[in-house]
Structures are given as structure tokens and as C-alpha cells.
Amino acid sequence: MEILKTVNLKKYYGKDKNLVRALDDVSISIKEGEFVAIVGTSGSGKSTLLHLLGGLDTPMSGKVIIDGIDIYSMKDDKLAIFRRRKIGFVFQAFNLIPVLNVFENITFPIGLDNKAVDKDYIKELMETINIYDKKDNLPNALSGGQQQRVAIARALATKPSIILADEPTGNLDSKTGQEVINLLKVSAKKYNQTLIMITHDDKIAQMADRIIRIEDGMIKGGFVNE
């Protein structure tokens, strides 16, 4: 079942000689529960695509449809709520709040919705991510790998349908990066989520169900990993 698609998505920057076609007529389709890696060289349009999929930027034209809803037909406040409830973000920078402990960082997005925290679910989530024993620690007392685990748990805390990960292993050594990807895969499968990840690492891309390659703002191929 299709959960997300783009239709003729375009995003240009600048004009005339300085025109950059960050995305040029991009149409993709992603199924529910799929793990898709988006690969390409620096400046190819990967991050622009991810930001548009997550409603963090506005396209020049085209559509992003999630669960049958064209997200850019929504007003900003409705889109913000939809994004918060439907999509979890994991970035290369951990973006943790330094004055909040691990548990508070993870549950912070739930508080934005004025919802009660499902403590049993959060405990299970932290145990799955292997960070429960650090629940009272502040971010500066954690290693890079541990901080990224917290960021993953925070992304999963609102039980989103889609996880968007932008180079989530970029600040980690290869061993820790591999562990983080394994955790993302396990968590996505356990909670029946769709995982869409940008990576420059071929080994990590090979762990995905499918790879989409983008070059100069255009899709140049997509294939299923055996």
C-alpha cells in the first residue's frame, strides 16, 4: 500500500545564470513499511527532496501526497500539526535540548501536542533503542552514538507513520553508525513505520529495501536490494 508519493515536484533557486534546479520534475512512490535509501553526490538534491517530503520547505510546483493528502494544500498551522503527528525526523545534528534530560528530550514533541505521555511505550522505546539506563542524563553526559539514539527515540515518540532521516550517521564512526542504522531498522519494523533515509554511505544504502538515486535534481534510477 502506497503511503507517500511526489508528483512532478520542482524546487529552483536563483535565476538566469545563477539558476539551480535543486529538484526538477521528481515523481516517486513509497510503500507503507518500506525502507528506502536516497543516494547521490553532494548538491544532487537529496536534502531538498527530504525537506519537501517532510513539509519543511515549499515546492515551486508539484505535490507531496501522504496518506492521500496533498500536504501543501494545507495551511501552515494545519501542516505543522500534521507533520508533528505523522512524521518523525532524524538529522545528522542531534538537535537535543541541553537543559532537558534524555526522557524529557524524547517526550518533548508529545508535550507540544498537549498529549499525555504513554510512559510504558516510551520505556519500551528506550529499551529497544538501548538508552533506558541513561534516561536521567543530560545530553552533554552522552556519547555521540547515545545522543543519536535519543534523537531516534524522540522521532519515534509520537508514533509517526514515516521516519525521515538525513545522514543520521554523518557524525558517527562507522561501527556506531552501523549500530544506529540497525536500531532504526528494528524500530521501524517493530512499530510498522516507513523509513526514508539520505546517505552517502554505500554500505548503509545496501541495507535498505530499495535505493533511489538522484543526480542534478532528477531521479536517475531506483532499484530493489536483493
Instruction: Render 90-152 in DSSP notation, one character per residue.
Output: EESS----TTS-HHHHHHHHHHHTTPPP-HHHHHHHHHHHT-GGGTT--GGGS-HHHHHHHHH
19-56 pLDDT, tens digit per residue, is: 989 999 999 999 999 999 999 988 899 999 999 999 99
pLDDT at 226 over 50: no
| Domains annotated on the chain, with CATH | 31-58+68-224 (3.40.50.300)
Question: What values do phi and psi take at 174, rounded to 5?
Answer: -60, -40
Check pLDDT > 50 for residue 164: yes
Quick: pLDDT tens for 113-122: 888 999 999 9
**Per-residue pLDDT reduced to its tens digit, 180-213:** 888 888 888 888 899 999 998 888 899 999 999 9
User: pLDDT at residue 167 above 90?
Assistant: no
